[in-house]
Amino acid sequence: MEKFISITTSAVPLPQENIDTDQIIPARFLKATNRDGFGENLFRDWRYHKDGSLNDEFVLNNNTYKGQILIAGHNFGCGSSREHAAWALSDYGFKVIVSSFFADIFKGNALNNGVLPIQVSPEFLDSLLMTVKNKPETQIDINLEQQYIYLTSTGEKENFEIDAYKKTCLMNGYDDIDFLLSKTSEIEKFENQRELSRVSD
């Protein structure tokens, strides 16, 4: 996994609540057996009309807004556990998703793919959306080590929480498989003890 330390970039605002993973990547694109290329169909049914033409009103089709941060409404990533949603966001070029609330499974999937989900307060989210909407070129600093999000132009700043273990993984590019494989003998011991207690019952 790629390391994540800090980035400074502009952002794309998508101020809608309850964005589910079916919207992020519709089920009909889940037939692939590899992880690549899902960015092409990210938010497919919002980006394109049913006849295949571009929906000019959707923010990803608006050249004014660019950057590696997606700012979204409350309860982002709810619904299906499909990790394809995290793959699609990452493949499209997003490194950070900012929202006031994330669904559990999506959050874990994002972290397992080097995409940082940052939960901010609803007030900070509103203000961030307003700033970015009015000034699309606004640069945003994300610092994982010190756990803050900072707007250079306005001086607004908020700290965010992240599990210490996950932070170490992201900063070093480690993943959970590496850790779990290092625990194999302990896992085998656990299995043996359970078997023993079952037999002796």
Partner 1 sequence: MSKTLFDKVWDAHVVHTIKDGPQVLYIDKHLIHEVTSPQAFKELEQRNVPIFRPKQIVATADHNTPTKDQHLPIKDELSRKQLKQLSENCKKHDIELYQLGHKYNGIVHVMAPELGITQPGMSIVCGDSHTSTHGAFGSIAFGIGTSQVAQVFASQCLLLTKPKSMRIRVNGQLKKGVQPKDVILYIISKIGTNAGTGYFCEYAGDVFEAMSMEGRMTVCNMSIEMGARGGMIAPDETTFDYVKGRTFAPQGEEWNQKLKYWKSLPTENDAVFDKEYSFEADDIEPMITFGTNPGMGIKVNQHIPNSNDTSFEKALNYMNFQKGESLVDKPINYVFIGSCTNSRIEDFRVAADFVKGKKKADHVTAWLVPGSKQVEKQIEDEGLKAIFSEAGFELRQPGCSACLAMNDDKIPAGEYCVSTSNRNFEGRQGQGSRTLLASPLLAAATAIEGKIVDITKHLN
Binding site for partner 1 (CB under 8 A): 16-18, 20, 22-23, 26-28, 30-35, 45, 50, 73-75, 78-84, 86, 101-105, 108-109, 112-113, 163-165, 175-177, 179-181, 183-184, 186-187, 190-191, 198, 201
The least distance separating partner 1 from the CB of residue 63, rounded to whole angstroms, comes to: 24
The least distance separating partner 1 from the CB of residue 45, rounded to whole angstroms, comes to: 5
Nearer to partner 1 by Cβ, of 113 and 140: the residue is 113
The least distance separating partner 1 from the CB of residue 5, rounded to whole angstroms, comes to: 20
Pairing of strands 11-14, 69-72: parallel
Nearer to partner 1 by Cβ, of 43 and 67: the residue is 43
Nearer to partner 1 by Cβ, of 8 and 18: the residue is 18
Nearer to partner 1 by Cβ, of 141 and 176: the residue is 176
The least distance separating partner 1 from the CB of residue 6, rounded to whole angstroms, comes to: 22
The least distance separating partner 1 from the CB of residue 33, rounded to whole angstroms, comes to: 4
Residue 88 tokens read as 């699609």
Cα-based distances in Å from 147 to 7, 11, 141: 12, 18, 11
Nearer to partner 1 by Cβ, of 50 and 56: the residue is 50
